[in-house]
Structure 1
Amino acid sequence: MTEHNEEQVLLLRRRRRRCCLIATGVAILLLLAFFIIILILALTVFKTKQPITELQSAKIDGIAPRVTFPAVDIQLNLTLDLQILVKNRNRASFKHGSGKSLLLYRGKQVGVVDIDPGLIPARGSAVLPCRLTLQVDEVASNLGALIRDVLDGELVMETRTRIPGRVNLLGIFKKHIVATSECQFTVAVLAFKIQSQKCKNKARF
């Protein structure tokens, strides 16, 4: 091999090495840019937001008072149909597991409802129906107040809801969320609907 040919071979090798280094550098820069874009999206557009839960309606489906004699025994059963609205503010679906909603009257738990698992689409919402019967035995200590409230036409009650779930971002990032809410609401007995409500929402990531 002549000296000229050797120089050409060396030059060709240098060019190939340079092309490989350039291609490797470009690939690394592209990967770095891709991860930076994903990180920015995760911290801005796709930042995990807490779902909002609130009572959409609380209808009194049945009131069944009964008084027995000669021993005075007052029984007052109320059946409530609760419609819990869950709003998913994330740009990713929210898959929630089994949850619970507690019903309280004058600070005392008087009922509990299990919430079935489900899937709420991105930027969507779902109504979770809950039905419970409030037994007078559970509010025996506040029986007089309950009867007065019913006769006055207004019931002030509270719900405490807990829904665990997971947000799936781009099929890559999965974040667990426990959404909780506390709602105080007033039900108009004669109108069978919510008259007013105040809700506080929290989320634990």
Structure 2
Amino acid sequence: MADTDQERPLAPARVHVDEEALKTKRKRKIKWCGCVTVPILVLVIVIVILAFTVFKVKEPKVTTKGITITDFDLILNQGTTPTVKLNMTMMIDMSIKNPNVGSFKLGNTTTTIYYRGAVVAEARTPPGMVKARKTSGMNVTVDILADRLASSPNLMTDVIGGKMTMDTYSIIPGRVKIVFVKKHVEVRMNCTVTVNISSRAIQDMICKRKVKL
């Protein structure tokens, strides 16, 4: 006969789970995560949009408005030993348009004049600043000396023919700063001009611009 006084195992305790409380707590967590995540996503989207629109660095637009001969001194001797002496001063009038929302800081601009592929003059322009979404002018004066021109065997022929073809080459380095964005920029302007000897003026001018960001 079994021992009726033997202890019986206790039944497992029942834990009461409040399903409504769990659901409420879960909803609060989801709501809190949403309140934190949504503003962050919106901020990231706004930054990305600004980076590709307002804060995107745009190319400065450099234009050569005109080239003027301010001094022209020509001595032509067509005697037994033909000689030609020519001194000339050019003034290059350029405009720089900054389409960015930040300033465009210019470095030292270097302008070189070529005649028949040889360097006949050089000039440097000091640093400057073009404010955001503004246009600023820049004048470069270059003195072309007779001794450099005289080294060309074609000078006499061109002077007698009444026309000289020359090239101007300007390198404009700079930096665009937009809030936390800094971008180095280099603008290169190349112009080919025809000098009319009789009128002592620029007859034709063709310019090309190249920008490196």
Which consecutive residues of structure 2, in runs of 5 or more, have no partner in the other structure? 1-17
* SS in structure 2 of the partner of residue 155 of structure 1: strand
Give the residue type in structure 1 aligned to 2:202: I
Matches of 2:62 and 2:116, distance apart in 1: 22
Judging changes above 3 Å, is the alpha-carbon distance between structure 1 residues 190 and 60 closer, same or farther for their aligned structure 2 residues? farther
Deviation at 1:111, TM superposition (A): 0.5
Matches of 1:84 and 1:121, distance apart in 2: 16
Q: 5 Å matches for 1:1-205? A: 17-41=29-53, 47-66=56-75, 74-142=84-152, 145-150=154-159, 152-169=161-178, 171-205=179-213
Give the residue type in structure 1 aligned to 2:119: Q
Matches of 2:120 and 2:52, distance apart in 1: 47
Judging changes above 3 Å, is the alpha-carbon distance between structure 1 residues 47 and 13 closer, same or farther for their aligned structure 2 residues? closer
- The answer (yes or no) to whether the contact 2:84–2:156 under 8 Å persists in 1 is no
Matches of 1:147 and 1:52, distance apart in 2: 38
Please give the root-mean-square deviation of Cα atoms over the aligned residues, in Å. Answer: 3.4
- The answer (yes or no) to whether the contact 2:165–2:192 under 8 Å persists in 1 is yes
Give the residue type in structure 2 aligned to 1:61: T
Which of 1 and 2 has greater Rg? 2
Deviation at 1:25, TM superposition (A): 1.7
Count residues with an aligned counterpart.
193
Give the residue type in structure 2 aligned to 1:53: V
Matches of 2:84 and 2:47, distance apart in 1: 68
Q: Report % sequence identity.
A: 30
TM-score with structure 1 setting the length: 0.75
Give the residue type in structure 1 aligned to 2:189: S
Judging changes above 3 Å, is the alpha-carbon distance between structure 1 residues 32 and 82 closer, same or farther for their aligned structure 2 residues? closer
